[in-house]
Each structure stands twice: as C-alpha cells, then as structure tokens.
Structure 1
Amino acid sequence: MNDMAGIAEQAGASRKVLVVEDNDLNLKLFCDLLTAHGYAPEPVSDGRVAIERARSLRPDLILMDIQMPNVSGLDLIVALQDDAELRATPIMAVTAYAGHGDEERIRAAGAKAYISKPITIGRFMEAVRALT
C-alpha cells in the first residue's frame, strides 16, 4: 500500500456512519465505499429502526435515504433533529429525490448535506469527509 492510500484510509479512521437505505445494492455500495476509506459503516435497511440504532451506535454521521417504505427519510430527519441526544449528529441525505425544491425541504428539515443519486464516488466521499 502506498502512503497516499494509507492516508486516505486513515482519514475516516474509527468514524462510525449509520447508513439508512432500503435498497440492498445502494446499501452495500455505500458501506463498501465507507469501509474502503477507513470508516465504520452500520447498515440499516428499515427506517423504523434507524433512531433506535442511532441512539445505541452514537454515529459520527448519518446517511439517510429519503424515499423508503414504512417511514420517509424526511420524517426521520425531523425526528432525529427533535431528539436531544441525536440532534448534533450531522445528517447527509442521499436520494433520488431531485425535483424542484426537494433539496431545500430536505435541508430545512435538518440535513447538513444533500447528494442526489446516482452518486459519483468523489462527490460522495468529499461530502462525507466534510461532515466527519
């Protein structure tokens, strides 16, 4: 391994990231990218358990899909912001929601960053690094 790869892997060293995504392929992609960059991802495929998992994990960052069954990511962002224990945890929305005004609504709910799908690896990791 060269020195630059080692530096990249150390950049996210021991940073815990809760990844809330119902699509299995996206969940695996995000977790693999985070792992390759030295982060410790915790996958959650059902938004109904996301808040409980966030309380037990105490992540450094939460990646949140917006369009999910059972509970919307937007509702989860609001609930996380209303939780005194979790409101300081930055949230990055990663979503196919890219219509007019969607980014503004998602940021107004409390997301610190917004990445639209399909993602580009560079932009995705740049946003993760900026929040951790």
Structure 2
Amino acid sequence: MGNAGEEFDGSMETKRILVVDDEGILRMLIMDTLEFEGYAVEEAEDGEEGFERIANEPYDLIILDYMMPHLTGMEVLEKIQPLQLEVPIIMLTAKAQQQDRDMAHQFGAKYFMPKPFSPSELVALVNEILNG
C-alpha cells in the first residue's frame, strides 16, 4: 500500500486550465489562486498567444478576458469555433451588456465572471464547472 500522496495522484487527474488575460497582475492572481487549489494553470498574455495554445494543447477549462489587444476574447472565440472543442470557457468581462454576453455565449462562452471579482468567487465557479 502506497502513501497518501501516491493514492491521491493515482486516483485524480490534475485539471489543466489556461488563463488568457493581458493584465499581468490579474493573470498572476488567478494562476496563484487556482494553483493553490491543485489545478495545473498555464498562461497567455494576449488573444493571439491564447489562440495558439488553445489550438495546439488540450485544456479542461479556459479563462478568457473579453478586452485584450491583438485579438479580443470574442475574436478568440470566433477563431476556435471551427475547432469544435468541448472545453468550458469562462469569459472575464467588465462589459456587462447583455448583447455582448449573448454573442459570447453563441460562440461558446457558457460562463461569465464580471470584473472585478473575488478569488473565492472564481474558485467556486471553477470547482463547480470542473468537479460538478
């Protein structure tokens, strides 16, 4: 019989999360918070880098900022739609207009987190999505 660490590692796969946000401080806060919860978290500094990672690597969850330079979160959603990925997406947004939410929802963002938000709110949503 192995120790508790071995049993845990064998029974639960670490979930991979990609955080795409151009705000470095917010990105680091999200990463640190979710890593503390036991998730494997990777980052992208803008929409272009985010799209490249999404197109080439499997993730269990994507956290995507709405407003970014180069490619906005909405443009990333449009570009990944043809890939038909089955990955949940949380859209971070300071834009609370319903038409923006509806359009993002059409392109695959099923969850929204308004900015500003507390780390505990984000953790609760991530846990709900990934762990039921």
* TM-score, structure 2 as length reference: 0.82
1:39: which partner in 2? 39
How far has the Cα of 1:37 moved from its partner? Answer: 0.7
Conserved? CA contact 1:19–1:62, under 8 Å: yes
Residue 111 of structure 1: CA displacement? 0.3
Unaligned runs of 5+ in 1: 1-11
Q: CA deviation at 1:99?
A: 2.7
Kindly provide the amino acid, as one letter, of the partner of residue 112 in structure 2.
Y
The aligned length equals 119
1:88-119 C-alpha deviation (Å, 9 max, x unpaired) = 11111012122343222221221010010001
CA RMSD of aligned residues (A): 1.7
Contact 1:23–1:45 at 8 Å: present in 2 too? yes
Equivalent-residue separation in structure 1 for 2:90 and 2:40 (angstroms): 16
Give how far 1:16 is off: 0.5
Distance in structure 1 (CA, Å) of the matches to 2:114 and 2:21: 13
Contact 2:96 2:114 in 1 (8 A): yes
Q: Deviations over 1:49-98 (max 9, x none)?
A: 212212333110010001000111011112222213xx211111012122
Bigger radius of gyration among the two: 2
Structure 2, unpaired ranges of 5+? 1-11
User: Pairwise mapping of residues 1-132 of structure 1 onto structure 2 (< 5 A)?
Assistant: 14-84=14-84, 87-132=85-130
